[in-house]
Structure 1
Amino acid sequence: MTNTDFAPQPLSPSPVGALDAEALKHLNAKVTEVFRSLAIDKRRLPASQLNKRGIPAYVAEWVLESVVPGQGELSQGEATRVLEWAARVIPGPSEQHIIKHKLAQGQTVKVLTPLQAEIQLKKGKEPERLAQLSLLGISDAYISDALLEEHPDLLRQGMWGVVELGALKDGVAVLSFKPMQAMVNLPLFKEARKKFTLHEWRALLLTTLGFDPAAFSEEQQTWLLCRLLPLVQKNMHMLELAPKGTGKSFTYENISPKVRLISGGNVSPAVLFVNNASGTWGILARFKVVVLDEVQTARFEQPEEIVGGLKGYLANGKLTRGGLHETASDCGFVMLANITLDDQQNPVKASLVEELPKFLRETAFLDRIKALIPGWELPKLSSKLLIGNDSLLTVGLKSDFFGDALIALREDLSAESFSAKAVQLGGDKPYRRNEESVRAIAAGLMKIQFPHGEVEPADFYRYCLKPAIQLRQGIWNELYALDGEYRQYELRISQAKV
């Protein structure tokens, strides 16, 4: 196809209502038929009350499938069995000492918890293999080589699963580990996409995330789907600004164990990059996506070192600190921040980044952020926006499977190739980072909505390229206003017309 195939197209009327009530009801059966055991009725999770146990959706849905497998709404009997199982296996914050007491009495204990392991090497001593169970306040449990070889992700970002613990004379040992498992067959995932129309697929994606697609306009649906970009695209760095209560962190905390959400507290160079004293790599090296929530109130230790290290990382994907250690990472970096709106729900400040910490307003740093999601255009999160008993479409994909499928799409470079040919920005001298960002965003939106690679030119423009330009335009507007150096280029980002 030529560049002209992807020039701005006249838009048809908004297809928000393209799926009527009957179509949505039919879609429930279709999703179940196509995805079978990988589909789940999203009403089962809130009915189970598992979310009140402090576990993310990708874990809770795995529990439901393990304890009370089935389709449709959760029955009272199933809810009771789940809660009884949770009371035995999911420890609450007040139960740490009870569990430790049982271990001290020689009992074995099974708990559902995140488990992370590390190897400590010391001169003249045997290597120590230590496991950390953060929910139990245990940081030095023994773990065998066999378990580490069987589950290498324990040494990376850690894994959720059912851990069996036993007491030793000098500590606690991990006796067995049953991890959450989601088998992803990417070719079959792509084939499944072919059985749905675009509007069906978008509705399915939103339902999978826990949102009622009928409660959002087409543009709002797109902004919600844009939150998935860092999962499908390597080194996708984004900023979302919105008032309180719009659910900015909702998607990230429930999508995958390979996404790390930091909400509040201190952020240090050792946490982000590397601990120079121990040589332990930070979260940007160990996770696929790192999300800093409430950036406007976060406390940054050594902010100059953090912003300097981030500028280098956002530009070239290299992690280093003081030149002592260096590695490459494809982790996406997302910042979420609250901003003030007026009574018309528009940002009060002329500069959208004015309420961010001062060092994050540096244009050399902002320029490396690819996209700005206009979260102020989304409604505040409420029960009416989430899947409930009044929703017509209630069946979505299981969260653990869906998160792994998105991350697997990172390795599919066909969308990047497609976007590189299709996207050429207009203007006498388009700014290089604008073009790179728009291409990366458009490729990511293609992976999310057209993972099978089949897309019509008008659909690529409307659902991939147009929103990609809007997301980068938000960053470009700030750069243009803050620094005269950028005004040698055109203000408006647009697709070239040939």
Structure 2
Amino acid sequence: MDNEISLNEKLNTYFAGRVVRKDLTKKIKEGANVPIYVLEYLLGMYCATDDEDSINDGVERVKKILSDNFVRPDEAEKIKSKIKELGQYTVIDNITVKLNEKKDIYEAEFSNLGLKGVLISSHYVKDYEKLLGGGIWCILKMNYFYDEEIRDVSPFNIGNLTPIQMPNLDLEEIFTGRNQFTKDEWIDVLLRSVGMEPTQLEYKVKWHLLTRMIPLVENNYNLCELGPRGTGKSHIYKEISPNSILVSGGQTTVANLFYNMASRQIGLVGLWDCVAFDEVAGITFKDKDGIQIMKDYMASGSFARGREQKAASASMVFVGNINQSVDVLLKTSHLFDPFPDAMAYDSAFFDRVHFYLPGWEIPKYRPEFFTNEYGFITDYLAEFFREMRKRNFSDAMDKYFNLGNNLNQRDVIAVRRTVSGMVKLIYPNGEYTKENIEEILQYALVGRRRVKEQLKKIGGMEFYDVHFSYIDKENFNEEFVSVPEQGGGKLIPEGTGKPGHIYVVGHGQTGMIGTFKIETEVVPGSGKFERTGLGSNRETKESINIAYNYFRANKKNISGTISTHDFDYLMHVQDLQGIGVTSELSLAAFIGMCSGALKKPIQSQMVILGTMSIGGTITKVQELADTLQVCFDAGAKKILLPMASAVDIGTIPPELFAKFQISFYQSPEDAVFKALGVE
């Protein structure tokens, strides 16, 4: 509790008038449908004190202002009547402005009040450009004047308009104040400022929640977060920052998002610091070139429309739900699977994502996760974030570390931007140690590697270099990072398997390369052969029949003890990654029958590659490099490869080839002996 007192006291001492007790926000928020930054703007005006009586008075005043002046859509007519009867009335509403070029005037539209075509002075538009794009919350004095002579102008007009945002911010105040807090205290302050209670959260979760803030402090930062429902993925972009806009799932247009060629106005990316897409599964563009322009913008921060090249600094955030467990998704598809089909297999689009935030590592929000302690007024926090966009810490790591050789230019940019964003949040005054930067660098590398691992599944060999590392400039030690969900849980376990159990990697019915397991049981019987797990694919059944017929004709070449009369052979094929059973099973099935009949297991962590014809002719492996990459991801250490594939070894990256112990075989019988370790 001492820590609680000290943190609250520190905030009130070093940031007096800039903090608010978050339980007040919570109490009023539950009864008023206004964004948090609107609420806290008012609380900051009337409750910036730690005197309980003054706070209570302030809360009552804020409640009264909201009940009297905040326009609820169902009470719009009542408020309009008040403005008319009183001649002047103060309202709180969301205002959007459009230029009426036919009349050469600006007209305001009120979101809740439902008014359109209200004349607004051009100086407001110049001072607050955001009025033109998506609208902002304002406190306004509204006047009413009806003139019978002028029929086509609204009798409502705006006497005075104040955006509900802080007018100015002294960054030095934040830098000086930051010196009074430890790293962990400052992280807790940031989390409390967005309403979370850090004492209830694991350290790793705190970092994930901080990452959600990076698009607000870093220009042109592309973040993706997919995870279960109820973890607050879009909350910060909708409620916390008045500088970000949440585009709810569904159709959008290039004109709305980037540039409207008819009105010659820039879209959302030019007006907001952050454009977040909620429910990525629903993203569609009416324009055919929409995704292409988005890719161009995500890579370079600029885009071409017509003859013009436009630049903007808005960050892009993609949030959505994963409906299956991550394990299932990793085995059957990839972690970008929830995106719409137009994007889901577009590796170039996802290559532009700087960080993949694992939403499944954030717990579902419960009441105790929301704080009752002090944090920055949301608006103060938002302005601090906004000012930090003008600074750059992407070279913060260069003093201490180099990046490993598996990172290409896009990977380097992604990692640098994440490092820069985290430094802006945690060490805005630029005071940090080597250990501080190493912690951030490791985290940044993991988030980008998660993207790269999925790209490898979508795009194959083009993205094989996923073994990210960084090198300490002092002692030249190289540290590698791993992605938690990729580790463990390998499809091919360590240790020797059962006789008759074989792993194969081949092309499934979908065309993707995947891992399959053949389980062969040999039991006393009358020579029956049963096959299960083959689905309805004729070619798959044919490949198993080739194996059984070859086995019956050539079993004596393997061992005189093998019998097909006194035993039943039961074979089951498992599609471990859900891509449709492969038809490349003939050789592996033959080895499986020999292994089961001889009761000898094949070598541990071995994968069988290659197929054979009914006469025993071996065919080479198609797409050998991609196939070996899938073997490696599945956990294989040993590969049985047809001699015919030796000519393709030049296509395999040396780093990948070196991961395996490879045995070549000439014939099906040779393959059996090598698989069983009988040379």
| TM score, norm. by length of structure 1 | 0.87
CA RMSD across the alignment: 2.4
Aligned residue for 1:14?
Answer: none
Alignment of 1:45 with 2:19, yes or no, is no
1:452 alignment partner, one of 410, 429, 436: 429
Aligned residue for 1:194?
Answer: 179
1:382 alignment partner, one of 366, 371, 374: 366
SS in 2 for 1:496: strand
**Using a 3 Å threshold, how does the CA distance of structure 1 residues 78 and 266 change in structure 2: closer, same or farther?**
same
- 2:256–2:268 contact (8 Å) kept in structure 1: yes
**AA of the residue aligned to 2:243:** K
Aligned residue for 1:275?
Answer: 260
SS in 2 for 1:139: coil
> Take 1:386 and 1:409, find their aligned partners in 2: how far apart are those partners?
26
Aligned residue for 2:206?
Answer: 221
Q: Tell me how far 1:147 sits from its aligned partner.
A: 3.3
Q: Residue by residue, what CA displacement relative to the aligned partner does 1:118-139 show, whole Å, maximum 9, x if unpaired?
A: 43334xxx52122222222223
Alignment of 1:28 with 2:27, yes or no, is no
**AA of the residue aligned to 1:471:** G
Aligned residue for 1:371?
Answer: 355
**Using a 3 Å threshold, how does the CA distance of structure 1 residues 366 and 446 change in structure 2: closer, same or farther?**
same
Q: Tell me how far 1:98 sits from its aligned partner.
A: 2.3
- 2:423–2:430 contact (8 Å) kept in structure 1: yes
**AA of the residue aligned to 1:205:** L
2:403 alignment partner, one of 410, 415, 425: 425
1:329 alignment partner, one of 306, 312, 317: 312
SS in 2 for 1:406: helix
SS in 2 for 1:205: helix
2:388 alignment partner, one of 392, 400, 409: 409
**Using a 3 Å threshold, how does the CA distance of structure 1 residues 458 and 305 change in structure 2: closer, same or farther?**
same
Greater Rg by CA: 2
> Take 2:292 and 2:254, find their aligned partners in 1: how far apart are those partners?
10
- Greater relative contact order: 1 or 2 (C-alpha under 8 angstroms, separation 6 or more)? 1
Aligned residue for 2:280?
Answer: 295
Q: Residue by residue, what CA displacement relative to the aligned partner does 1:421-449 show, whole Å, maximum 9, x if unpaired?
A: 5453212x531111111011011101110
> Take 1:23 and 1:222, find their aligned partners in 2: how far apart are those partners?
20
Q: Residue by residue, what CA displacement relative to the aligned partner does 1:87-129 show, whole Å, maximum 9, x if unpaired?
A: 111011202222333445573231112233343334xxx5212
> Take 1:433 and 1:317, find their aligned partners in 2: how far apart are those partners?
14
**Using a 3 Å threshold, how does the CA distance of structure 1 residues 149 and 440 change in structure 2: closer, same or farther?**
closer
Q: Tell me how far 1:153 sits from its aligned partner.
A: 4.6
Q: Tell me how far 1:72 sits from its aligned partner.
A: 6.2
> Take 2:14 and 2:462, find their aligned partners in 1: how far apart are those partners?
49
Alignment of 1:307 with 2:291, yes or no, is yes
**Using a 3 Å threshold, how does the CA distance of structure 1 residues 95 and 265 change in structure 2: closer, same or farther?**
farther
> Take 2:26 and 2:407, find their aligned partners in 1: how far apart are those partners?
48
- Choose between structure 1 and 2: higher helix proportion: 1
**Using a 3 Å threshold, how does the CA distance of structure 1 residues 119 and 316 change in structure 2: closer, same or farther?**
same
> Take 2:380 and 2:264, find their aligned partners in 1: how far apart are those partners?
33
SS in 2 for 1:219: helix
Aligned residue for 2:448?
Answer: 472
**Using a 3 Å threshold, how does the CA distance of structure 1 residues 190 and 157 change in structure 2: closer, same or farther?**
farther
Aligned residue for 2:242?
Answer: 257
SS in 1 for 2:67: helix
> Take 2:207 and 2:271, find their aligned partners in 1: how far apart are those partners?
29
Aligned residue for 2:563?
Answer: none
Aligned residue for 2:321?
Answer: 338
Aligned residue for 1:493?
Answer: 468
- 2:396–2:437 contact (8 Å) kept in structure 1: no
Q: Tell me how far 1:220 sits from its aligned partner.
A: 0.7
Q: Residue by residue, what CA displacement relative to the aligned partner does 1:161-188 show, whole Å, maximum 9, x if unpaired?
A: 2111223432021111123342211122
Q: Tell me how far 1:490 sits from its aligned partner.
A: 2.2
For structure 1, which segment, 67-76 or 216-225, has the greater mean C-alpha deviation from structure 2 after superposition?
Answer: 67-76
> Take 1:94 and 1:366, find their aligned partners in 2: how far apart are those partners?
43
> Take 1:312 and 1:291, find their aligned partners in 2: how far apart are those partners?
17
Aligned residue for 2:38?
Answer: 59
> Take 1:167 and 1:348, find their aligned partners in 2: how far apart are those partners?
64
**AA of the residue aligned to 1:193:** R
**Using a 3 Å threshold, how does the CA distance of structure 1 residues 114 and 345 change in structure 2: closer, same or farther?**
farther
**Using a 3 Å threshold, how does the CA distance of structure 1 residues 441 and 167 change in structure 2: closer, same or farther?**
same
- 2:19–2:44 contact (8 Å) kept in structure 1: no
**Using a 3 Å threshold, how does the CA distance of structure 1 residues 120 and 324 change in structure 2: closer, same or farther?**
farther
**Using a 3 Å threshold, how does the CA distance of structure 1 residues 207 and 338 change in structure 2: closer, same or farther?**
same
Q: Tell me how far 1:265 sits from its aligned partner.
A: 4.0
- 2:395–2:416 contact (8 Å) kept in structure 1: no
**AA of the residue aligned to 1:387:** T
Q: Tell me how far 1:401 sits from its aligned partner.
A: 0.5
> Take 1:447 and 1:76, find their aligned partners in 2: how far apart are those partners?
35
**Using a 3 Å threshold, how does the CA distance of structure 1 residues 475 and 423 change in structure 2: closer, same or farther?**
farther
**Using a 3 Å threshold, how does the CA distance of structure 1 residues 491 and 344 change in structure 2: closer, same or farther?**
closer
Which segments of 5 or more consecutive residues in structure 1 lack a partner in the other structure?
1-20, 389-393
Aligned residue for 2:62?
Answer: 82
Q: Tell me how far 1:347 sits from its aligned partner.
A: 6.7
| TM score, norm. by length of structure 2 | 0.64
Q: Tell me how far 1:79 sits from its aligned partner.
A: 3.9
> Take 2:31 and 2:203, find their aligned partners in 1: how far apart are those partners?
31
1:356 alignment partner, one of 331, 336, 339: 339
Q: Tell me how far 1:380 sits from its aligned partner.
A: 0.3
**AA of the residue aligned to 1:359:** A
- 1:115–1:158 contact (8 Å) kept in structure 2: yes
For structure 1, which segment, 439-448 or 257-266, has the greater mean C-alpha deviation from structure 2 after superposition?
Answer: 257-266
Aligned residue for 1:483?
Answer: 459
**Using a 3 Å threshold, how does the CA distance of structure 1 residues 423 and 478 change in structure 2: closer, same or farther?**
farther
Map residues 147-158 of structure 1 onto 2, 5 A cutoff. Answer: 147-155=124-132, 158=135
Q: Tell me how far 1:151 sits from its aligned partner.
A: 4.1
Q: Residue by residue, what CA displacement relative to the aligned partner does 1:37-87 show, whole Å, maximum 9, x if unpaired?
A: 00111111112x235322111111111223444336686654443322211
- 1:345–1:376 contact (8 Å) kept in structure 2: no
**AA of the residue aligned to 1:58:** Y
**Using a 3 Å threshold, how does the CA distance of structure 1 residues 51 and 284 change in structure 2: closer, same or farther?**
farther
Aligned residue for 1:18?
Answer: none
Q: Residue by residue, what CA displacement relative to the aligned partner does 1:208-233 show, whole Å, maximum 9, x if unpaired?
A: 11111011111110000000111111
Q: Residue by residue, what CA displacement relative to the aligned partner does 1:294-346 show, whole Å, maximum 9, x if unpaired?
A: 111x252326322111011111111334x255421000000001002439898
Q: Tell me how far 1:266 sits from its aligned partner.
A: 2.7
**AA of the residue aligned to 2:403:** L
**Using a 3 Å threshold, how does the CA distance of structure 1 residues 439 and 51 change in structure 2: closer, same or farther?**
same
Q: Residue by residue, what CA displacement relative to the aligned partner does 1:443-490 show, whole Å, maximum 9, x if unpaired?
A: 11011101111111112111x111111111111111111112424x52
**Using a 3 Å threshold, how does the CA distance of structure 1 residues 303 and 216 change in structure 2: closer, same or farther?**
farther
> Take 1:72 and 1:242, find their aligned partners in 2: how far apart are those partners?
41
**Using a 3 Å threshold, how does the CA distance of structure 1 residues 27 and 173 change in structure 2: closer, same or farther?**
same
**Using a 3 Å threshold, how does the CA distance of structure 1 residues 180 and 249 change in structure 2: closer, same or farther?**
same
**Using a 3 Å threshold, how does the CA distance of structure 1 residues 256 and 337 change in structure 2: closer, same or farther?**
same
**AA of the residue aligned to 2:354:** K
